[in-house]
Structure 1
Amino acid sequence: MEIFLTWLTSAGGIFGLLITAIKNGLGLDPLALLFALLTPSLLLYGRHEVRLRRLRSIKDFLISFGTDKERSHGADNADPAPLPADAAKPDANVRLTNNPSFEFVKSKYISDLQVQDPPEGKPFNEMNDIDQIDWIIKSIGNFGSRSDWRIFLSSIGFILLSYFGFSALFSTLSCGLGATTCCAPGAIACAEPAGSYGNWQQLTVIGSLAFAGAFIAAIRNFVRAVVVFDLSPYTFLRHTAEIVASVIFTIILFAVFRDPISGITGLVAEILPDAPQPVAPVGAPPVAPVAGGHIQPIWFGLAPLLGLLPQSATKFLLMKFQNLISWIKTTDDRFIGVTKIVSLDIIDGIDYETRFRLEECGIYDVQNLATYNPIMLHIESPYGIYQVIDWVAQAQLCHIIGPEKFLIFRELNIRTIFDLERAISSKHSVKAFDEICAGVLLASTSSLRETVRISATKPITIDTDMTAAVDADAFCIWARKRMQRDDDSKSTEHVLRWIADDLHVRRLRRLWFDISESLGEEAMALEDGIDAKVRVPTPPVVPVPAQ
Structure 2
Amino acid sequence: MDASSPKPVTSFVKGFLFISLFIASIYFILQSIKNGFAADKQMDFAIWASVFMAFVTPAAIVMIRHEVRLSRIKLIELFAETFNFVPSTPRAAAVPQAVPVRQDGMIQPAPQEAQAAQTDANSKQNVSFEFVKGKYFADLDIPRRHQQSAANVPRFPMMIRSDWLMLVCAIPFMVIAWFGSFILFAPLIEVSRIGRDFGVGSWLWPSMLALGGSDINTIRDPAQFEAQHINVLTVAMLAFAGGYFFSLRLLLRAVAVFDLSPITFLRCFVHILLAMLLAVVIYRVFPTAESWGNALSRTGQALQTLSGAPSPPSPPSTLPPAAPATVPPGGTAPAMVPPMPVPGAPAVLPAQPAAGVTPAATEPLRDPRGGTICQANQPCPALGPAAGVSAIWLIIAFALGFIPDAALQFVLQKAGLSFKERYADLDPHAKLVPVTLIDGIDNFIAYRLEEANIYDVQNLATANPIMLHVESPFGIYETIDWVAQAQLCTVTGPDRFLLLKTLNIRTIFDLERAVMPHVPAPDAPAGAAEPPAPPDEVVLAIGELLVRDSERDKVMRTQLALGPAVGEGRDGARGRPSVAETQHMVAVMIDDLHVHRLRQIWKHIVGELGIPNARL
- CA 1:158–1:460: 2 relative to 1, 3 Å: closer
Pick the aligned partner of 1:100 from 127, 134, 137: 127
Q: Which residue of 2 aligns with 1:307?
A: 401
Q: Distance in 2 between matches of 1:451 and 1:335?
A: 9
Q: Distance in 2 between matches of 1:275 and 1:66?
A: 83
Task: Answer whether contact 1:197 1:294 (CA < 8 A) is retained.
Answer: no
Q: Post-superposition shift, 1:401?
A: 0.4
Q: Which residue of 1 aligns with 2:51?
A: 33
- CA 1:338–1:86: 2 relative to 1, 3 Å: closer
Which amino acid letter does the alignment assign opposite residue 516 of structure 2?
Answer: S
Q: Which residue of 2 aligns with 1:492?
A: 582
Q: Which residue of 2 aligns with 1:218?
A: 247
Q: Post-superposition shift, 1:186?
A: 3.6
- CA 1:439–1:198: 2 relative to 1, 3 Å: same
Q: Secondary structure at the match of 2:385?
A: coil
Pick the aligned partner of 2:425 from 329, 334, 348: 334
Q: Post-superposition shift, 1:302?
A: 2.1
Task: Answer whether contact 2:223 2:386 (CA < 8 A) is retained.
Answer: no
Q: Which residue of 2 aligns with 1:542?
A: none
- CA 1:169–1:440: 2 relative to 1, 3 Å: same
Q: Distance in 1 between matches of 2:613 and 2:586?
A: 27
Q: Post-superposition shift, 1:521?
A: 0.5
Q: Which residue of 2 aligns with 1:261?
A: 290
Q: How does 1:121-136 map to 2 (within 5 A)?
A: 123-124=145-146, 127=147, 132-136=148-152
Q: Distance in 2 between matches of 1:20 and 1:490?
A: 79
Q: Which residue of 2 aligns with 1:23?
A: 34
Q: Secondary structure at the match of 1:311?
A: helix
The one-character-per-residue Cα deviations of 1:40-67 (angstroms, maximum 9, x if unpaired) are 1011011111111111111111001115
Which amino acid letter does the alignment assign opposite residue 57 of structure 1?
Answer: L
Q: Which residue of 1 aligns with 2:367?
A: none
Matched, 1:153 2:158: no
Question: Which of 33-42 and 284-293 deviates more?
Answer: 284-293
Task: Answer whether contact 2:30 2:51 (CA < 8 A) is retained.
Answer: no
Pick the aligned partner of 2:69 from 46, 51, 65: 51
Q: Secondary structure at the match of 2:538?
A: helix
* Structure (1 or 2) with the greater helix fraction: 1
Q: Post-superposition shift, 1:202?
A: 2.9
Q: Which residue of 2 aligns with 1:9?
A: none
Q: Post-superposition shift, 1:314?
A: 1.1
Matched, 1:207 2:222: no
Pick the structure with greater CA Rg.
2
Which amino acid letter does the alignment assign opposite residue 52 of structure 2?
Answer: L
Q: Which residue of 2 aligns with 1:358?
A: 449
Pick the aligned partner of 1:318 from 412, 416, 421: 412
Q: Post-superposition shift, 1:404?
A: 0.5
Q: Secondary structure at the match of 1:89?
A: helix
Pick the aligned partner of 1:431 from 536, 539, 543: 536
Q: Which residue of 1 aligns with 2:574?
A: 477
Q: Distance in 2 between matches of 1:89 and 1:407?
A: 48
- CA 1:424–1:460: 2 relative to 1, 3 Å: closer
Pick the aligned partner of 1:291 from 381, 384, 394: 384
Q: Distance in 1 between matches of 2:28 and 2:170?
A: 27
Q: Distance in 1 between matches of 2:27 and 2:139?
A: 40
Which amino acid letter does the alignment assign opposite residue 499 of structure 1?
Answer: M
Q: Which residue of 2 aligns with 1:242?
A: 271
Q: Which residue of 1 aligns with 2:181?
A: 166
- CA 1:266–1:143: 2 relative to 1, 3 Å: closer
Q: How does 1:518-529 map to 2 (within 5 A)?
A: 518-526=608-616
Matched, 1:115 2:142: yes
The one-character-per-residue Cα deviations of 1:105-132 (angstroms, maximum 9, x if unpaired) are 1111101111158xxxxx31xx4xxxx2
Q: Post-superposition shift, 1:392?
A: 0.3
Q: Distance in 1 between matches of 2:127 and 2:253?
A: 25
Q: Distance in 1 between matches of 2:315 and 2:77?
A: 71
Task: Answer whether contact 1:47 1:226 (CA < 8 A) is retained.
Answer: yes
Q: Distance in 2 between matches of 1:178 and 1:493?
A: 75
- CA 1:325–1:18: 2 relative to 1, 3 Å: closer
Q: Post-superposition shift, 1:336?
A: 1.8
Which amino acid letter does the alignment assign opposite residue 44 of structure 1?
Answer: V
Q: Which residue of 2 aligns with 1:415?
A: 506
Matched, 1:374 2:374: no
Q: Which residue of 2 aligns with 1:454?
A: 559
Q: Distance in 1 between matches of 2:467 and 2:585?
A: 30
- CA 1:20–1:114: 2 relative to 1, 3 Å: closer
Q: Distance in 2 between matches of 1:382 and 1:43?
A: 20
Structure 1 length-normalised TM: 0.75
Q: Post-superposition shift, 1:200?
A: 3.1
Q: Post-superposition shift, 1:17?
A: 9.2
Q: 5+ unaligned residues in a row in structure 1: which ranges?
A: 1-13, 71-83, 118-122, 463-468, 527-547
- CA 1:135–1:204: 2 relative to 1, 3 Å: same
Q: Post-superposition shift, 1:30?
A: 3.4
Pick the aligned partner of 1:403 from 482, 485, 494: 494
Task: Answer whether contact 2:227 2:388 (CA < 8 A) is retained.
Answer: no
Q: Post-superposition shift, 1:165?
A: 1.2
Matched, 1:512 2:602: yes
Question: Which of 330-339 and 357-366 deviates more?
Answer: 330-339
Q: Secondary structure at the match of 1:334?
A: coil
Q: Post-superposition shift, 1:98?
A: 3.7
Q: Distance in 1 between matches of 2:293 and 2:80?
A: 62
Q: Distance in 2 between matches of 1:277 and 1:387?
A: 71
Q: Which residue of 2 aligns with 1:533?
A: none
Q: Secondary structure at the match of 1:332?
A: coil
- CA 1:142–1:218: 2 relative to 1, 3 Å: closer
Task: Answer whether contact 1:421 1:496 (CA < 8 A) is retained.
Answer: yes
Which amino acid letter does the alignment assign opposite residue 239 of structure 1?
Answer: C
Q: How does 1:137-152 map to 2 (within 5 A)?
A: 137=153, 139-152=154-167
Q: Secondary structure at the match of 1:167?
A: helix
Q: Distance in 2 between matches of 1:330 and 1:417?
A: 38
Structure 2 length-normalised TM: 0.67
Q: Post-superposition shift, 1:18?
A: 7.7
- CA 1:62–1:515: 2 relative to 1, 3 Å: same
Q: Distance in 2 between matches of 1:241 and 1:435?
A: 57
Q: Distance in 1 between matches of 2:442 and 2:565?
A: 42
The one-character-per-residue Cα deviations of 1:149-180 (angstroms, maximum 9, x if unpaired) are 01111011111111111222122x6459989x
Q: Secondary structure at the match of 1:292?
A: helix
Q: Distance in 1 between matches of 2:163 and 2:151?
A: 18
Q: Distance in 1 between matches of 2:318 and 2:411?
A: 28
Question: Which of 140-149 and 342-351 deviates more?
Answer: 140-149
- CA 1:214–1:521: 2 relative to 1, 3 Å: same
Task: Answer whether contact 1:178 1:193 (CA < 8 A) is retained.
Answer: no
Aligned residues: CA RMSD: 3.7
Q: 5+ unaligned residues in a row in structure 2: which ranges?
A: 1-24, 40-45, 88-108, 206-220, 302-311, 320-360, 365-373, 519-531
Q: Distance in 1 between matches of 2:296 and 2:427?
A: 29
Q: Post-superposition shift, 1:492?
A: 1.4
Q: Post-superposition shift, 1:444?
A: 0.8
Task: Answer whether contact 2:190 2:200 (CA < 8 A) is retained.
Answer: no
Work out the percentage of aligned pairs sharing the same amino acid.
34
Aligned length: 463
Which amino acid letter does the alignment assign opposite residue 161 of structure 2?
Answer: R
